[in-house]
Structure 1
Amino acid sequence: MKEISCKLLVIGAGPGGYISAIRAGQLGVDTVIVEVAKPGGTCLNVGCIPSKALIHAAEEFEKIAHMAGGKGVLGISVAAPTLDLMKTITWKDGIVSRLNSGVAGLLKKARVKTVHGWATFRDGKTVEVETETGTQVIRAEAVVIATGSVPVELPFLPFGGPVISSTEALALSEVPKTLAVIGGGYIGLELGMAFAKMGSHVTVVEALPRVLAQYDAELTRPVLKRLGELGIEVMTEAKAKGLSTQGQAGKGDALRVETADGKDAKVAADKILVTVGRKPLTDGWGLDQIDLDMAGKFIRIDDQCRTSMRGIYAIGDVTGEPMLAHRAMAQGEMVAEIVAGHKRSWDKRAIPAICFTDPELVTAGLSPEEAKAQAGEIKVGQFPFAANGRAMTKQGEDGFVRVVARADNHLVLGIQAVGQGVSELSAAFGLALEMGARLEDIAGTIHAHPTQGEGFQEAALKALGHALHI
């Protein structure tokens, strides 16, 4: 097969990779992208997008079930609903397919050549790709490694049979009657709450003293309350030990657990969802051939995403935390511009993070504890959604917006929120931090009424000492 030569080779067509390739193509850089699966990576195919589709379907079903039970206060009554999960999955797959086609179309529009197959380094400038029609050799002046990450597998609970990762959870043909979730982080709780709304009896097993440990306790309190309302059992300081039987799914399988007091317990589980984290995908593409410096299990990069080898860049999950699609996208865009000769560096003040539980969590910048450690004296303003008209009309009074700022010059250092639909406030939070806003800037910005965004303004006013609606 004829060799391909290009200026930029991107390995991996996930959010970081395809954005890097598209931007490079727009700038006139001769670009090739290699992907073994469908474009969009984990996020589009088996992560962010399909999980939010399933979460939305679960929310809608739970609302209707609530009305059917005569528990609603809106005056709406309906017959008992049923859920056909296969139809839900088909709808979800349709969304993913449309977005796959969209990404492929954008790459083509940017004149990026796509090669389907698994890439392996020969050296720092040469890659072999195993395609359906044979081995393709690609030589490039610059290479972007955007291989992403994969779910962490527990050695005593390997994936298969009743033990599933988030990938399999998003493709189930029926709702499991009982579901054990190992890991009380954002992935475990997002999916656990969704399946509870669809009818599963869910048990969360978390080794740490509390779930969502990466967030402060005050921020997660409304989520813990909702877990109880959904009937989700949470076992903290508990350790999964393995299957108690080796039968087929739904045939008597149970999860063995060591409880906080050291006793053995069994958790009924038609399916066991393991969500204990993700690890960078660094195996299988010839890392040993190029000998990159590592930062633990991740590829070490500088503020321009350069690795230890000239001309090789790395972006996204393979470079470490935070493992977020929008971080990878921003890095990919920057690297494309650097390859095109632009002056760029990575100096982000804030990368918003969202947990799509019920209610949702948003964090951007520093928490109050982090801000206090870095800046000393701080001001904190917090406004409850119980005092927000729009939240009340959506039955979303649980939660709040919190703004953290320096005490001396009122520079905003961090913003957090918990509440129904607060994910959509993340753009405003990120913009305020990137623009170097002070409390007075947020307080002086007219926020439309009635919206939950008013809580952002009120939180800043509260920090200044004169909130208007509490």
Structure 2
Amino acid sequence: MAQYDVIVIGSGPGGYVCAIRCAQLGLKTAVVEGRETLGGTCLNVGCIPSKALLHATEMLHEAEHNFAEMGLKGKTQSVDWKQMLSYKETTIGQNTGGIEFLFKKNKIDWLKGWGSIPEAGKVKVGDEVHEAKHIVVASGSEPASLKGVEVDEKTVVTSTGALELSKIPKKMVVIGAGVIGLELGSVYKRLGAEVTVVEFLDKITPTMDGEVSRQFQKMLTKQGLEFILGAAVQGVEVGKGKAKVTYKLKKDDSEATIDADTVLVSTGRRPYTDGLGLDALGVEMERGMIKTDDHYKTNVDGIYAIGDCIAGPMLAHKAEDEGTAVAEGIAGQHPHVNYGVIPSVVYTHPEVASVGKTEEQLKDEGKKYKVGKFPFMGNARAKANFSSEGFVKILADAETDRVLGAHIIGPMAGDLIHEICVAMEFGAAAEDVARTCHAHPTYSEAVREAALACGDGAIHV
């Protein structure tokens, strides 16, 4: 029977980061993972492969729409779908292999198989039982199901199936206008599919700042995506490799159908805790999630949980921060995760990124605030790169000027947002950002201009 200081169940971003941090702190560590490769959903069938396809199809868009204007002329680009999927698989392999290298470097044992916790202090993998002073559950999440819709991962797919379709569909229906649906919908639209997004609510990306969400929908519509909002999907009928989606409009209760070659069910994700034995252990759950305290401890001594299987946004970087925090807590340190400064990004083109409060949240709280906005149309780099759609929006306290939130829709938004994350961590004012020199010509100047707009006004508008 092997004995460890820490056993982590799950090798996704939360699990593998937790394990590496534990090892750095001198704790004998093992990770349980049943997949053939490390990295969890994110690296294998989520964040990384989807970004590979997004990048490939963005390059296709550039070639089809902008190359000639830049003087780049030659053969028209064609899509080799098998090669594109091969590129995606290579990307996955490089990243998952990288995690395996880090495990060896940090002397972390990979316990291959699916784990369960027969009792506190013990983890069973296959026929073997391993002892650990601390057990961290980082089992992640799985796609949420939808009543009346049966997924076969061929015609009716989740994000997993959408990343490995045998051919590019002529017509795709995406159920759900959240991040995953819009990213993958964008991929297939650029590859030539007709893409229709059916959403139950009256807006896309419902947690996003309202102004940004409206602008985002306009941009995606301009790109050719169609939206049916306020529509409840009643069911999906499959026959001969085709599908028929039936939905009911909430405004008048009328029913309609759409034909599709592929239906992507993108209605969110739910914690994955099956087979761990948590019920028998008496681990307290709440709405399907593992309940933890501020130190990620469950009600059972020695068992912790992090990432998608506990409350909070299901984001890889949130899980990573929690993985680091729980490792440091086990080692006797006093870590802290600031949940008010966790950015979120949609990797469409243009990208959308946000951190902190939205205008709607500030209004609900009765908080007095000011808005500084700057359009990418006024940014020299953006205009040169055919990326002048969108804007940067900074929300600051009306009295103290402290940055309360930021929302960016435009080029490299997912990278630009981190300047504001750092500013918020240090309690910076919008003026602090505005008075910081930014290199020219860069997209980041738009962030500075938005900060200036919180004061006397931006320069380039």
| TM-score category (smaller protein) | over 0.9
User: Who is 2:46 aligned against?
Assistant: 47
Q: Deviations over 1:346-388 (max 9, x none)?
A: 3443000001122211111111232344462111111111111
User: Who is 1:259 aligned against?
Assistant: 249
Q: Deviations over 1:391-446 (max 9, x none)?
A: 11111111111111111111111111001221111221211111111112111110
**Aligned match for 2:110, one of 104, 110, 114:** 114
Matched, 1:172 2:171: no
Shift of 1:468: 1.3
For the Cα contact (< 8 Å) 1:349–1:434, is it kept in 2? no
Q: Deviations over 1:61-85 (max 9, x none)?
A: 12222358xxx53344443321111
User: Who is 2:124 aligned against?
Assistant: 128
For the Cα contact (< 8 Å) 2:346–2:353, is it kept in 1? yes
User: Who is 2:58 aligned against?
Assistant: 59
**Aligned match for 2:337, one of 335, 346, 352:** 346
Aligned pair count reads 458
Matches of residues 9-88 of structure 1 in structure 2 within 5 Å?
9-37=7-35, 38-66=37-65, 73-88=69-84
Matches of residues 186-201 of structure 1 in structure 2 within 5 Å?
186-201=179-194
Shift of 1:464: 0.9
For the Cα contact (< 8 Å) 1:181–1:275, is it kept in 2? yes
- Please give the alpha-carbon distance, in whole angstroms, between the structure 1 residues aligned to 2:79 and 2:306: 40
For the Cα contact (< 8 Å) 1:35–1:115, is it kept in 2? yes
User: Who is 2:413 aligned against?
Assistant: 422
Identical counterparts, % of pairs: 39
Q: Deviations over 1:270-326 (max 9, x none)?
A: 110000000000221101122122232211122221112222111000012210000
User: Who is 1:105 aligned against?
Assistant: 101
User: Who is 1:239 aligned against?
Assistant: 232
CA RMSD of aligned residues (A): 1.6
Give the match's secondary structure for 2:340.
Answer: coil
- Please give the alpha-carbon distance, in whole angstroms, between the structure 1 residues aligned to 2:46 and 2:8: 21
**Aligned match for 2:259, one of 260, 268, 278:** 268
Gaps of 5+ in 1: none
Give the match's secondary structure for 2:70.
Answer: coil
- Please give the alpha-carbon distance, in whole angstroms, between the structure 2 residues aligned to 1:194 and 1:19: 29
Matches of residues 438-457 of structure 1 in structure 2 within 5 Å?
438-457=429-448
User: Who is 1:323 aligned against?
Assistant: 314
- Please give the alpha-carbon distance, in whole angstroms, between the structure 2 residues aligned to 1:190 and 1:270: 18
Shift of 1:129: 0.8
Give the match's secondary structure for 2:270.
Answer: strand
Shift of 1:262: 2.4
Shift of 1:51: 0.4
Shift of 1:14: 0.4
Distance 1:265 1:426, change over 3 A: same
Q: TM-score, structure 1 length as denominator?
A: 0.94
For the Cα contact (< 8 Å) 2:210–2:359, is it kept in 1? no
Instruction: Look up the equivalent residue of 1:237 and give its one-letter code.
Output: G
**Aligned match for 2:378, one of 387, 390, 396:** 387
Shift of 1:257: 2.0
- Please give the alpha-carbon distance, in whole angstroms, between the structure 2 residues aligned to 1:216 and 1:340: 39
- Please give the alpha-carbon distance, in whole angstroms, between the structure 2 residues aligned to 1:29 and 1:237: 51
Distance 1:105 1:302, change over 3 A: same
For the Cα contact (< 8 Å) 2:354–2:407, is it kept in 1? yes
Distance 1:67 1:347, change over 3 A: closer
Matched, 1:143 2:135: yes
Q: Deviations over 1:82-141 (max 9, x none)?
A: 1111110111100111111110110111111110101111112112112xxxx1101110
Q: Deviations over 1:168-213 (max 9, x none)?
A: 1111131111101000111101110110000101111111112112
User: Who is 1:289 aligned against?
Assistant: 280
User: Who is 2:304 aligned against?
Assistant: 313
- Please give the alpha-carbon distance, in whole angstroms, between the structure 1 residues aligned to 2:176 and 2:425: 33
Distance 1:290 1:171, change over 3 A: same
Instruction: Look up the equivalent residue of 2:142 and give its one-letter code.
Output: V
User: Who is 1:377 aligned against?
Assistant: 368
Give the match's secondary structure for 2:69.
Answer: coil
- Please give the alpha-carbon distance, in whole angstroms, between the structure 1 residues aligned to 2:64 and 2:367: 49
Q: TM-score, structure 2 length as denominator?
A: 0.96
Q: Which runs of 4 or more aligned residues in structure 1 lie more than 4 Å from their structure 2 counterparts after TM superposition?
A: none
Matches of residues 156-167 of structure 1 in structure 2 within 5 Å?
156-160=148-152, 161-167=154-160
Instruction: Look up the equivalent residue of 1:148 and give its one-letter code.
Output: G
User: Who is 2:174 aligned against?
Assistant: 181
- Please give the alpha-carbon distance, in whole angstroms, between the structure 2 residues aligned to 1:240 and 1:148: 27
For the Cα contact (< 8 Å) 1:54–1:92, is it kept in 2? yes
User: Who is 1:300 aligned against?
Assistant: 291
